[in-house]
Amino acid sequence: MGWLRRSGPGRFGKLAASLASWGTAPYHGRAFLADLQPEGFIAPSASISHQGLKLGRNVYIGDKVVASSSNDGGIVELGDRVQLYGDTFLETGSGGSIHIGEGTHVQPGCHIHAHLTEIRIGRNVEIASGCGFFSYDHGIEPGIPIMDQPITSKGGITVGDGAWLGYRVTVLQGVTIGAGAVIGAGSVVVRDIPENAIAAGTPAKVIKYRTIGHN
């Protein structure tokens, strides 16, 4: 507990985190460290440069997680007991912010990029490995290189409480995924998905509902 209390994103904090996690298993096997103190646990290999990062209680930030901002990006707010696993990338740009509700789990290799508008993920959401969230797009006017065109947005992204996104789901700008919805692996979500719906495909379409008696 001594080293754990001294752990954090700074140079000495990283050393303390390394000692606190010595001998623990990687991935889920290390998440219990966040439960041992309200300040949670940030893995020593995480790269946290985002000045607007706000952490709730007992947050776990795993190996090689990156949190950064560009062009005066807005805040990244992680609620109580949020767990971010290895190689997840969070970024905000001008006008963008990220809010993740308490108890939500983000598995390895996810990308969450909020520019111009917010990305708001609810409580107790299960997000499988390799998912991507993008609240903006590049202009595609002819005669101008794509990288020189301004970014645009049709609106933010909202994911309701208790939803489950399968492996490598992509969620694009202006989309709301309702509470309790399930999105099948590999789907691309380009339009709203109702509460308790099960949707899959590219683009994702509702195939049935979890609610008994729902037609």
| pLDDT surpasses 90 at 77 | yes
pLDDT at 111: 98
The sheet carrying 105-106 orders its strands as: 41-42, 60-61, 83-84, 105-106, 126-127, 164-165, 182-183, 197-200, 205-209
Region 41-50: what's the mean pLDDT? 94
Q: Cα-atom radius of gyration of the chain, to the nearest Å?
A: 18
Active-site residue among 28, 113, 115, 138? 138
pLDDT classification of 7: cutoffs 50, 70, 90 = confident
| pLDDT surpasses 70 at 214 | no
Higher pLDDT, 15 or 213: 15
111 is catalytic: no
Q: Which residue has the tokens 């379409």?
A: 205
Region 189-201: what's the mean pLDDT? 98
Nearest to 190 by CA among 169, 215, 209: 169
10 Å CB burial of residue 177 (0-12, 13-18, 19+) is buried
Q: What does CATH list as the number for 45-209?
A: 2.160.10.10
Spans of all domains in the chain: 1-38, 45-209
| pLDDT surpasses 90 at 116 | yes
| pLDDT surpasses 60 at 215 | no
pLDDT at 71: 78
Region 67-92: what's the mean pLDDT? 96
Beta pairing, strands 76-78 & 53-55: parallel
Tens digit of pLDDT for each residue in 126-142?
999 999 999 999 888 99
Tens digit of pLDDT for each residue in 92-110?
999 999 999 999 999 999 9
| Cβ(163)–Cβ(189) below 8 Å | no
* 110 CB-near residues (< 8 Å, 6+ apart): 88, 89, 127, 129, 130, 131, 132, 133
| pLDDT surpasses 60 at 143 | yes
pLDDT at 13: 85
| pLDDT surpasses 60 at 124 | yes
Region 192-204: what's the mean pLDDT? 98
Furthest-apart CA pair in the chain: how many Å? 60
Region 57-63: what's the mean pLDDT? 97
pLDDT at 86: 95
Mean pLDDT of all residues belonging to the chain: 94
